[in-house]
Amino acid sequence: MLRYLIRRLAGALVVILGVSCLVFLLIQLVPGDPVEVMLGESASSADRAALREQLGLNQPLPVQLWQYLSGLARGDLGISLFSQRPIGELLLERIPATLLLTVTALGFALLLAVPLGVLAALRKDSLWDTGAMAFALFGVSIPNFWLGPLLILLFSLWLGWFPVSGAEGPGAWVLPALTLGTGLAAILSRMVRGSLLEVLQEDYMRTARAKGLSPTRVVWVHGLRNALLPVITLLGLQLGALLGGAVITETVFSWPGIGSLTIEAIQRRDYPLVQACVLLISLAYVLVNLATDLVYAWIDPRIRLGEGG
């Protein structure tokens, strides 16, 4: 297991380095001049040149890349061009809100998807199965930027149950979590259904029934535990999409997280802050997938043994 862990960590470090370089180069291609945004169009050429030199934007691109990577190695993300505050402080202020939204959306998705998928598998070709798959199709098809305003219109403006936007007040997290978690719940419910249908046909399931175990124990202990292996893999992949979807959801609901901070930084041409936000989301995606690999190897020893770990 240790060798397997070391290999996965080494691969994750290579991916993180590649993502860091790619993020830096892509940000350089974004149109717009941060100096002009900060000083305005009426600023003199001398003022622009002085600010450009102060920010290090007059240096060659390889030099800027080296300074950027050197700063990352020291844990220094730089200074925001707009607020002139350390980027690390700005991220630390916003990370808790994004974590709250992501964990809540994930919890909602699991609480809805697992029972729905199990019920659809046990009642195959029934109205329950048809309804569950209709929900899955509905959840996958509706984008967050459409579902969010629809929920605001229904539950905030018409019924007045929840706040329209922001993170203050009771229930402020409900609508953003529903918006973000519905798509994930739809995907997971289909995977749980398909995986459980395969497991129910296995010989050990028939053996468990023949031993006189209760149907509940057969399904939830013996069946679902083995059916969760592909579900865990999908969950790890979808968590990255969940973080990416948080950018849209946080913008729709004015949620004070990393997603809304990214949009604000893009609008202000705050290149260092955009780089840090995109890098943070990418890093979270890599770490989630690494954790998924480790959990998968822990549940199924054949994974790590197959690699000589």
Q: State the Cα–Cα distance between residues 169 and 173, nearest whole angstrom.
A: 9
Band (pLDDT 50/70/90 cuts) for residue 309 is: very low
The top-scoring range by mean pLDDT among 53-57, 90-94, 227-231 is 90-94
SS (H, E, C) 210-230: HCCCCHHHHHHHHHHHHHHHH
- Of 20-29, 212-221, 285-294, the least confident: 212-221
Mean local confidence (pLDDT), 108-115: 86
Of the pLDDT bands very low, low, confident and very high (cuts 50, 70, 90), residue 308 is: very low
**Residue limits of CATH 1.10.3720.10 in the chain:** 93-306
Q: How far apart are CA 230 and CA 253, in angstroms?
A: 33
The model's pTM: 0.75
Q: Between 224-252 and 174-199, two packed helices, what is the crossing angle to 10 degrees?
A: 160
3-class SS of residue 79 = strand
- Written as six digits, the tokens of 266 are 């893009």
The beta strands (E) that lie in 41-193 are given as none
Helix (H) / strand (E) containing 195:
helix 174-199
Class of the CATH-defined domain 93-306 = mainly alpha
How far is 261 from 91, CA to CA, in rounded Å? 8
The CA distance from 113 to 128, in Å, is: 13
Q: What is the pLDDT of residues 270-280, one digit of tens each?
A: 878 888 888 88
CA distance 9 to 151: 41
CA-closest candidate to residue 274, choices 81, 56, 16, 84: 81
- Give the amino acid at 248: I
Residue 126 pLDDT greater than 50, yes or no: yes
Distance CA 58, CA 52 (A): 6
CA–CA gap between residue 199 and residue 106 (Å, rounded): 25
Token reading at 4 = 């397997």
Q: Is 210 exposed, middle or buried (0-12, 13-18, 19+ CB in 10 A)?
A: exposed
Residue 114: half-sphere exposure toward Cβ, Cα within 13 Å = 15
221 has pLDDT over 70: no
- Residue 70 token pair: 């050197």
